[in-house]
Amino acid sequence: MQKSYRTALFIIVGIALILISGVFFPSEQTDSATAPVDVSNTKMAVTVINASPEPYIKDIVLRGYTEALRTVSLKSQIKSRITELPVEKGMRVSKGDVICRLAVEDRDANYTESLALVTQRELEFKASERLYAQGHRSETQHSAAKSGLEAAVARSVRMKVNLDNTAIRAPFDGVINDRLIEVGDYMKEGEICALIMEEDPFLVVADISESDVGQVKVGDEAYAVLQNGRRLNGKIRYTSSIADVSTRTFRVELEVRNPEKDILDGVTAELFIKSDQVMAQRISPATLVLNDDGLVGVRLVDNTNRVSFKEAEILGNHADGIWISNIDASTKIIVEGHEFVKAGEIVNAVPLQN
């Protein structure tokens, strides 16, 4: 009996020793599932594409406005009283239509008198010619007769112009934008009767920077978009050769057709002008990042898979992506995972699967 107790005691002690040895003398072979993992050398996986720049024509986008090609103040060339105003402001007129009519007064009589004097001087000159040919009139007398006729004709022309100026007419087809007088008003020379605006063609004008003005030439095709989304196609008709002293920009004018006469003066518009062709890369807008200095660009990886930042200029924004410049061919652009890496970091670059 005592022997069996001793045997049991030995077994218990042996089990205890085995358990104690597992605590104080751990095995060098550890379960891989419970062993700690060293993550210090783990590389972040990013997806990259090889850059392949393509020819791209950038749009120069300018903020501008519509403007009438011609707006003229119709002024009186004589002194007289307004007797008739055939058109109201807002009405469309044709070239030659009477806009304001002034009192004729004695101008008609003066013109008639001048015509009679011309007739008399013509008869006197013809008689002088016959006498001069027969030797009965001196050259001085004949020259005086000729001068008298020419003076009478000149006076007649002045009287005709004076009479014609009693009717102020439209110099071109247009719309009467404003009328500044009423029937009965007395007008002096140089006073404004009405303002007329030509409606077709029309202009879209804007200011272009000194860095872009060299890329715009008269005759280039361009287009403008009004605030309501309407597109106006046309050609560049003018670029200024002198910069604005305050903004250092140059005026540029786009001429567009307005057959329906529905473009208004002074409407805000965006002017789009094609610039020189450059090489550009198309990417998704989500690929762009902002670095610590606030610069917009993309993250790249080199041949050693080291991350770098490249500032990029956005040339255009289209439905199929954006176009950026300053990207060399075959450069690896990070398109996925760029938000989680930074410049100088070594990554695992994985090509994008199409």
Using a pLDDT cut of 70, give the percent of the chain over it. Answer: 88
Q: What CATH number does the domain located at 45-57+279-351 have?
A: 2.40.420.20
- Dihedral angle at the C-alpha atoms of 204, 207, 212, 214, nearest 10 degrees? 80
What DSSP assignment string belongs to 228-293? TS-EEEEEEEEE-SS--TTT-EEEEEEEE--TT--PPTT-EEEEEEEEEEEEEEEE-GGG-EE-TT
State the DSSP code for 156: H
pLDDT digits (tens, 9 = 90+) for 64-110: 999 999 999 999 999 999 999 999 999 999 999 999 999 999 999 99
In tens, the pLDDT along 88-97 reads 999 999 999 9
Report helix, strand or coil for 51. coil
Confidence of residue 56 (pLDDT cuts 50, 70, 90): confident
Q: Let me know: does 232 contact 222? Beta carbons within 8 Å.
A: no
pLDDT of residue 29: 44
CATH architecture of the domain with residue range 74-98+172-195: Beta Barrel (2.40)
DSSP assigned state of 320? T
Q: Identify the helix (H) or strand (E) that includes residue 153.
A: helix 139-164
Instruction: Provide the residue type at 111 as one letter.
Output: Y
Q: How confident is the model at residue 328 (pLDDT cuts 50, 70, 90)?
A: confident
Q: CATH: 1.10.287, 1.10.357, 1.10.10, 3.30.70. Which one for 104-165?
A: 1.10.287
| Per-residue model confidence as pLDDT tens digits over 137-178 | 898 999 999 999 999 999 999 999 999 999 999 999 999 999
Report whether pLDDT(30) > 50. Answer: no
Domain boundaries, the chain: 45-57+279-351, 61-69+198-275, 74-98+172-195, 104-165
Query: Which pair of structure tokens corresponds to residue 204?
Result: 């879209």
Q: Is the predicted pLDDT of residue 135 greater than 80, yes or no?
A: yes
